[in-house]
Structure 1
Amino acid sequence: MLNSRIPGRNFLFVPGPTNLPDRIVRAMSVASEDHRSPTFPDLVKPLFPGLKKVFGTEKGHAFIFPASGTGGWEAAITNTLSPGDKVLAQRFGQFSHLWIDLCKRHGLEVVVQEREWGTGNDPELIEETLKADKNHEIKAVLATHNETATGVTSDIAAVRRAMDNAKHPALLFVDGVSSVASLEFKMDEWGVDVIVSGSQKGFMLPAGLLLMAASQKAVDAGKSNSGRRAYFEFRDMIAQNANGYFPYTPSVPLLYGLKESLSILFEEGLDQVYKRHHHLAEGCRAAVAAWGLKCCAKEPKWNSDTVTAIVVPEGYDAAKVIETAYKRYNLALGAGLSEVAGKVFRIGHLGDLNELMLLGAIAGAEMAMLDNGIKVTPGSGVAAAQAVYRANPMLKM
């Protein structure tokens, strides 16, 4: 049976794009309008302080580009660095790998530190490397906050402490595409110079908006290489945004969606958003344990609260589980990428969802595994997740 013929809504449980709340869908259903009109700033100006609140910054500059998170990686390096500059990055998943690849394409020298997939950033190794860089040739440290491919979250505050301990002036760039608006982020407190995110995950929007923030130090770093970008120029954005406009045509429906997204986040309360994501993730991890399987994250300290990557037993193909879930049960699960292709499937649990929605995904994954001969006890994962959700009183009633 083909997925498109199954009645009911598709259960979207990839780690992005995420489910669109009906409020956001309605907010984006707007007629075209003049993005140079005298009233357009009424929509635009409030978006920036809202974004800064989500990013955890009062000092930084917030940006809204019509792009994706990959554009944010490019904006970060082209606004602050020049070809030949040296950066430090640790590779422990597909998205940390892709950021490294992008830097190389821009002519940067990347000091790559390989880490086991299923682990995250190693602050001690970063500190050791920076201390050895006596001439301060390393201009930036690239840190992936949440590695979507493996379901791993790293401690960004610890990375900053390592940089401070080394007394090194490098900039700190963070990929927060699958963490911001779902996991706590404190740009100012953690000393982050550039944070990159996107609209299609915690912000509960379609893909198409690059949402990011940069410190004044990062903005100032671009003054020496102003000829290297046009579309992603921070200073053009700052000048135009101050009056409520953009240097070029923005995605107006997505801006209305972002306005509604921020309202939803603040109505729930950011602290409650973070608690809800942890609560939902704990139930998913309980299901994995009840199945007798393991998460791709090597230790509990690495567990992500936005996505769980589940390792299938030796001899089984995770891609088959994903295909069965989609074609038979109308459930979209995340695929394993690169080194973990065929070895893991991923359940995304971020954005607009609740316990019953995630229980549906857990049930569907369980059935798809059984259909592919993986020996799990029917109902075990669902029961384990239910026990977590029924026992945990942290959610507001």
Structure 2
Amino acid sequence: MTNAPNLSHGRGYLAIPGPSVMPEAVLQAMHRPAPNIYAGELPDMMPGIMTDLKRVARTSHHCAIYIANGHGAWEAALANVVAPGDRVLVPATGRFGHGWGDMATGLGADVEVIDFGKSDPFDLNRIAETLKADSGHKIKAVLAVHVDTSSSVLNDVAGLRRVLDDLGHPALLMADCIASLGCDRFEMDDWGVDIMVTGCQKGLMVPPGCAFVFFNDRAQAVRDAMPRVSRYWDWTPRSQAEELWQYFDGTAPTHHLFGLRVALDMIHAEGIEAVWARHTTLARAVWTACEAWGEGGDLRLNIADRAHRSTAVTSLRLNGSDGTRLREWVEGQIGLTLGIGLGMAEPDDPRRDAFFRLGHMGHVNGQMVMGMLGGIDAGLKALGIAHGRGALDAASDVIGGAGA
């Protein structure tokens, strides 16, 4: 096979869990000269952008935009409601729960982590026990990651609100929807979430660079009682802006906003319920293929129960170094880039090369997912990695059934 052709030339497919595939319409909207930031098209479209962002978040309350990534959104949210010495509770189900907790520690908060491991969702009973023991209501906020991008677990945020309400606990419910917004169903107001954070580079289909913090009046009241909030992170002036610069405390991320306007138009033209349904069907096709490969083979999905899997990302495990071998083969030989197994093992743990992830978020459709699965199937065969057969037939049955 030394003379076998390399089949990677042509348009590559970035199937990592963010940045996601960017629509051509978004990229074309961004490919333009710098605009006037004081008058004209860009300032005029900001109120509509804010309204349509809230539609995606399913909230009628407030939104602030930051020139940042998801980590910036974490800090912005915390800076507005958590003062040094305040206590926060972090139920962690992967790398990013711990990361948000570490951010709170860096701001001087007293952080209590309940670690549920990397393959299980929140245990609401355990969280309830911790909150019930907090009879003095010292816990000011609960930091909940809706979908942890490392483990691909989907957590029950609405159930967490029920726990807080049943106990009469006043802690703010804060949700990280960086991986899930615009992919997995999320209902900010109906689920009783006080603060939600996300970024533009996943379900919102815009290149990395903008972060968003959504918050309700209850959270604003906590912000108003804070002894101080840094000028840059303060969400109040950003959410009440009248001039373009006020939304960003300075120069706006002009070209990101042009792209975001188009991305929001695409989401609302499809309809958010239809967006969720599309992600659900495509994810089921991915899971079905992976389950078929696992029968008689070594491939395992990190989250065993489908009810607890995100429809945006799937975390997987092979044996030994096979995860890395597979990633390198499909990228080098057929132009398909899969995600690394981020945070699933320590750097010096030999198992770290067993893990990898599939991103199926945002601007994806049936033929893209089938192409990704076909590429993985070819890689398993080329590398001699043990796997069950019939995965592509099973996935096409899911997609074909959805279109029947």
Q: TM-score, normalised by structure 1?
A: 0.93
User: Which segment is superposed worse, 123-132 or 248-257?
Assistant: 123-132
Q: Distance in 2 between matches of 1:190 and 1:49?
A: 20
- For 2:314, the equivalent position in structure 1 comes to 308
- For 2:301, the equivalent position in structure 1 comes to 295
Structure 1 residues 6-45: aligned runs within 5 Å: 6-37=8-39, 40-45=42-47
How far off is 1:185 after superposition? 1.3
SS at match of 1:153: coil
Asked if 1 retains the 8 angstrom alpha-carbon contact of 2:14 and 2:337, the reply is yes
How far off is 1:230 after superposition? 2.0
Residue 326 of structure 1 pairs with residue 331 of structure 2: yes
Q: Distance in 1 between matches of 2:305 and 2:238?
A: 41
Q: Distance in 2 between matches of 1:35 and 1:122?
A: 48
Deviation per CA, 1:6-57: give whole Å up to 9, x if none. Answer: 3211111001111111111111122212222265431211011101111011
- For 1:383, the equivalent position in structure 2 comes to 393
Q: Distance in 1 between matches of 2:384 and 2:109?
A: 47
- State the one-letter code of the partner of 2:323: A
Q: Distance in 2 between matches of 1:219 and 1:39?
A: 30
How far off is 1:5 after superposition? 9.4
Asked if 1 retains the 8 angstrom alpha-carbon contact of 2:152 and 2:302, the reply is yes
Asked if 1 retains the 8 angstrom alpha-carbon contact of 2:97 and 2:148, the reply is yes
How far off is 1:234 after superposition? 0.6
How far off is 1:122 after superposition? 2.0
User: Which segment is superposed worse, 331-340 or 353-362?
Assistant: 331-340
- State the one-letter code of the partner of 2:139: I
Q: Distance in 2 between matches of 1:23 and 1:95?
A: 31
Residue 207 of structure 1 pairs with residue 208 of structure 2: yes
Q: Distance in 1 between matches of 2:94 and 2:47?
A: 37
Q: Distance in 2 between matches of 1:318 and 1:19?
A: 22
How far off is 1:382 after superposition? 1.6
SS at match of 2:72: helix
- State the one-letter code of the partner of 1:309: S
SS at match of 2:290: helix
Q: TM-score, normalised by structure 2?
A: 0.92
Asked if 2 retains the 8 angstrom alpha-carbon contact of 1:20 and 1:206, the reply is yes
SS at match of 1:319: helix
How far off is 1:212 after superposition? 2.5
SS at match of 1:173: strand
**Unpaired segments ≥5 residues, structure 1:** none
**Unpaired segments ≥5 residues, structure 2:** 346-351
Deviation per CA, 1:222-255: give whole Å up to 9, x if none. Answer: 2333534122111121232x44542211111110
How far off is 1:344 after superposition? 1.9
Aligned residues: 388
- For 1:66, the equivalent position in structure 2 comes to 67
SS at match of 1:147: coil
- State the one-letter code of the partner of 1:32: A
Identity of aligned residues (%): 33
Q: Distance in 1 between matches of 2:72 and 2:277?
A: 30
Distance 1:8 1:221, change over 3 A: same
User: Which segment is superposed worse, 231-240 or 135-144?
Assistant: 231-240
SS at match of 1:12: strand
Q: Distance in 1 between matches of 2:269 and 2:227?
A: 40
Asked if 2 retains the 8 angstrom alpha-carbon contact of 1:95 and 1:149, the reply is yes
- For 1:234, the equivalent position in structure 2 comes to 235
Asked if 2 retains the 8 angstrom alpha-carbon contact of 1:27 and 1:256, the reply is yes
- State the one-letter code of the partner of 1:388: V
- For 2:252, the equivalent position in structure 1 comes to 250
- For 1:267, the equivalent position in structure 2 comes to 269
Structure 1 residues 7-156: aligned runs within 5 Å: 7-37=9-39, 40-58=42-60, 60-156=61-157
